[in-house]
Amino acid sequence: MEDLFANCNLCPRRCGADRTAGKTGFCRMPSVPVVNLIKLHYGEEPVVSGADGSGTVFFEGCSLGCIFCQNYGISRGPTGHGTEMDKDSLADAYLKLQDEGANNINLVTPMHFAPEVAASVAKAKTIGLKIPVAVNCSGYDLVSTLRLFDGLVDIYMPDMKYFSSKFSSEYSHAPDYFSVCCSAIDEMVRQTGSVVLDEDGLIRKGVIVRHLILPGGIFDSKHIIDYLTSRYGDRIYISLMSQYTPMPSCTGKLASKPSKSACDALADYLESTGQANAFIQDYDSSGNEMIPDFRI
Ligand code: SF4
């Protein structure tokens, strides 16, 4: 089988780096998955975390690289404190999380390691993994890479960060973000179908699209709400997040949190669409406590 790390085109950056030969591209990551943190996480949407927590695996690196990244401690490349984990050790880690009572396996930012991570999920299912598997990603994902997870992943949790190419260029150097993200979410919905919750109100399958409200981004946010509600309605879950926290490197508009009035206005706007499958984060729950204690 072709080694997809040898001429890496796993994400829309299409660097062509030979990661099998020690070269790196925009994501700055090797071909072996690097994991920073594995834990039961209670900070996801209630349909994901529930009372028992989501079995979360935080991968290092990211191919989008937003300048305001809320996980900036681990997203900018290797921290030097992560652990290289191949498909077998990842599969064992998923089973351990299942034994600890996790509601699901939650793979955070795995796309730049997609071939090995997909293989790890396939392996885990052969040795006893029963709980749903979720991929938690930036939305800047190629359909061809998402297809590696087809039939293996039950839940996708992509971001839809920007509508405007002005914002996506300025904040993520990705002028094509919105069109790439639209195709990616179409593919995710094709793979999982509509949202299904179990008798305890936990998600079993489907797509949860997350939108983080940015300071000064209210009109962009409205466009995204319009797009998602008109295209998918209650076939997907929409999660409107107000937890934006300025990182030390943020300047200008990004140096402050979005106002409560802006977040309230967007919450009202989403409610006015009649979208039932929606989660609106409480403004007062936002802040640094939502950011895990990474090894950095
Ligand atoms: S996954 Fe990394 S190396 Fe591969 S194309 Fe994307 S940024 Fe480049």
In-domain check, residue 214: yes
User: How many Cβ atoms from other residues are within 10 Å of residue 293's Cβ?
Assistant: 8
Q: What is the pLDDT of residue 169?
A: 97
Stated pTM of the model: 0.96
Pocket test for ligand 1, best of 7, 8, 14, 142 (most atoms within 8 A of CB): 8
Residues 189 and 164: their CA atoms lie apart, in Å, by 23
Can you tell me which atom of ligand 1 is nearest the CA of 61? 2
13 CB within 6 A, ligand 1:
yes
pLDDT at 288: 53
- pLDDT greater than 70 at residue 289: no
Q: Is 1's pLDDT higher than 60? A: no
In a domain, 255, yes or no: yes
Give the total number of structural domains in the chain.
1
Q: How far apart are CA 54 and CA 39, in angstroms?
A: 8
Is position 6 within any domain? Answer: no
For 176-185, the pLDDT digits (tens) are 999 999 999 9
Asked if residue 23 belongs to a domain, the reply is yes
Task: Name the token pair of 160.
Answer: 């839809």
Note down the domain range covering 79.
Answer: 19-290
Q: Is 113 in the pocket of ligand 1 (CB under 6 A)?
A: no
Q: How many CB atoms lie within 10 A of CB 201?
A: 9
282 domain-assigned: yes
Taking only the tens place, the pLDDT of each residue in 22-36 is 999 999 999 999 999
CA distances in angstroms from 241 to 182, 184, 212, listed in the order given: 19, 20, 5
pLDDT tens for 153-196 read 999 999 999 999 999 999 999 999 999 999 999 999 999 999 99
CATH value at residue 87: 3.20.20.70
- The Å distance, Cα 132 to ligand 1 centre, comes to 27
